[in-house]
């Protein structure tokens, strides 16, 4: 019993250290190190970290840009109820990035994200219903890592950043995450 308690107490602390190490690496522009720190956490099923890993792939930070890999990570997070993952997956479906374009699936995932209070998802749903003639596609938004949200594994507690401009989707990196956001 004591051994099990020790593992439970020690497990989250070491996972938080990996997460924090990834945040620090990301902030200094060492995206490869951020990926090394976050990938095990994402593979363990932490939805917020899965979104971060997906964003590294979507923006080609620390890895070759790979929209299909980004879709896989966003889908994992979305299936666990991450509003950020749902929104980003909807964007990928809407634009055909890494997956065949599918307006019905985009609407589905925007709806799921909107149910969790994502105003940007509501706006995209309205645009899909009656798109303006010169509308630009939305950009995948890059979340800011949050110590507390990741530690508690609460995707809904993650901050909801403003979408990155469409031009930034293909060329520039998203803003760095804040360690104590």
pTM (two decimals): 0.68
Per-residue pLDDT tens over the stretch 102-145: 999 999 999 999 999 999 999 999 999 875 566 666 677 766 66
pLDDT in tens, 11-30: 444 454 489 999 999 999 99
Q: Does residue 130 fall inside a structural domain?
A: yes
* C-alpha distance from residue 7 to each of 4, 12, 37, 111, 151 (Å): 5, 9, 20, 39, 16
Residue 19 lies in a domain: yes
Tell me, what's the pLDDT at 179?
46
DSSP-assigned states of every residue in the chain = -HHHHHHHHHHHHHHHHHHHHHHHHHHTT-HHHHHHHHHHHHHTT-HHHHHHHHHHHHHTSSS---HHHHHHHHHHHHHTT-HHHHHHHHHHHHHTSSS---HHHHHHHHHHHHHTT-HHHHHHHHHHHS--TTPPPPPPP-PPPBHHHHHHT-GGGS--PPPPPHHHHHSSPPPPPPTB-
- Domain assignment present for residue 123? The answer is yes
Provide the domain limits for residue 146: 12-170
Question: Is residue 72, in this structure, part of any structural domain at all?
Answer: yes
Query: From CA 31, how far away is CA 169, in angstroms rounded?
Result: 17
Number of domains observed in the structure of the chain: 1
The answer to whether the beta carbons of residues 92 and 72 sit under 8 Å apart is: no
Contact of 10 with 42, CB cutoff 8 Å? no
Question: Which region among 11-15, 118-122, 155-159, 160-164 has the lowest average model confidence (pLDDT)?
Answer: 160-164
Q: Is residue 6 situated within a structural domain?
A: no
State the CATH number of the domain containing residue 33: 1.25.40.10
**Per the domain annotation, does 57 fall within a domain?**
yes
């Amino acid at each position: 019993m004591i051994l099990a308690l020790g593992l439970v107490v020690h497990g989250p602390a070491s996972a938080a250290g990996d997460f924090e190490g990834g945040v620090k690496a990301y902030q200094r522009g060492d995206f490869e190190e951020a990926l090394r720190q976050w990938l095990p956490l994402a593979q363990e099923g932490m939805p917020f970290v899965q979104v971060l890993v997906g964003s590294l792939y979507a923006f080609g930070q620390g890895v070759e840009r790979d929209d299909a890999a980004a879709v896989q990570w966003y889908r994992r997070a979305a299936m666990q109820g991450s509003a950020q993952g749902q929104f980003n997956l909807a964007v990928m479906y809407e634009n055909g990035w890494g997956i065949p374009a599918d307006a019905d699936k985009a609407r589905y995932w925007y709806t799921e994200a909107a149910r969790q209070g994502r105003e940007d998802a509501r706006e995209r749903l309205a645009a899909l219903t009656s798109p303006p003639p010169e509308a630009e596609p939305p950009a995948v938004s890059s979340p800011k890592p949050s110590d507390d949200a990741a530690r508690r594994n609460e995707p809904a507690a993650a901050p909801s950043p403003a979408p990155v401009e469409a031009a930034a989707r293909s060329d520039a990196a998203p803003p760095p995450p804040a360690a104590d956001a």
